[in-house]
Amino acid sequence: MEEILQQIANCIEFGKTDKASPYPPDMKGMDGADELTRLALDNGINPSDILSQGLIPGMEKIGIKFRQNKVFVPQVLMSARAMNLAMKHLKPYFRSGEVKRKGTFIIGTVVGDLHDIGKNLVSMMVEGNGWEVIDLGIDVKAEKFIAAVREHTGSVVGLSALLTTTMVNMESIVKHLRDEVPGTRVIIGGAPVTEGFREKIGADFYSSDPQGAVEYLNGLTE
């Protein structure tokens, strides 16, 4: 059992989606995350173990390598694709409640801002670490964040911005969230955002990369 979970973790880490994929070259012809997750379930391995001992360790490793500049956006996207294929097999167990998520994370790029590549990476990394992610997309107004938090009580909110002209919109979103749904935790990030800015607007956490957001979220569950 441990061996197959280790193989799944490797597929996630190295972006081996399925047998047909020629990437990475040294895993060509081998089963990928898709086949191995199906095989693990067919062999009676608990879906929670597949998540916690296969998918999550693989995503953690790629997150750390990305932080250390040992891999770049394309590799992370391949890992996320492998993770999505594995997740497809686990979805029924999430729906039935047999596999529990760590919590819900609502993310969006703030109003006025159309950049979504960084936001998508954060979203994939957080999902791969066992959280349910509700991605509100780009150009998201405070009202939409508030409605989502009301629908998913206790969720954590993530705000992304790439422009100096739109990061300022984070301030009013945080303020509205504080007024409307007190106690909601807010993480902010994006190239122009800084720790000093976080302090100024009163958000709970600033992360310069996806891994920091994952570590903060996981810390909330301890």
How far is Cα 159 from Cα 154, in angstroms, rounded to an integer?
A: 16
The CB-of-207 to ligand B1M minimum distance in angstroms stands at 4
The CB-of-151 to ligand B1M minimum distance in angstroms stands at 19
- Name the residue nearer to ligand B1M (CB basis): 17 or 166: 166
- Name the residue nearer to ligand B1M (CB basis): 38 or 65: 65
Contacts to ligand B1M by CB under 6 A: 73, 107, 112-119, 121-122, 158-160, 162-165, 187-192, 207, 209-210, 213
Q: Which residue is nearest to ligand B1M (CB)?
A: 118
For the stretch 84-115, what's the b/e string if a residue is b when 16 or more beta carbons lie within 10 angstroms of its beta carbon?
Answer: ebbbebbeebeeeeebeebbbbbbbbbbbbeb
The CB-of-149 to ligand B1M minimum distance in angstroms stands at 14
How far is Cα 166 from Cα 48, in angstroms, rounded to an integer?
A: 39
- Name the residue nearer to ligand B1M (CB basis): 47 or 130: 130
Strand 186-189 relative to strand 132-135: parallel, antiparallel, unpaired? unpaired
The CB-of-195 to ligand B1M minimum distance in angstroms stands at 12
Measured N-to-C along each axis, helices 169-180 and 142-151 cross at an angle, to the nearest 10 degrees, of 40
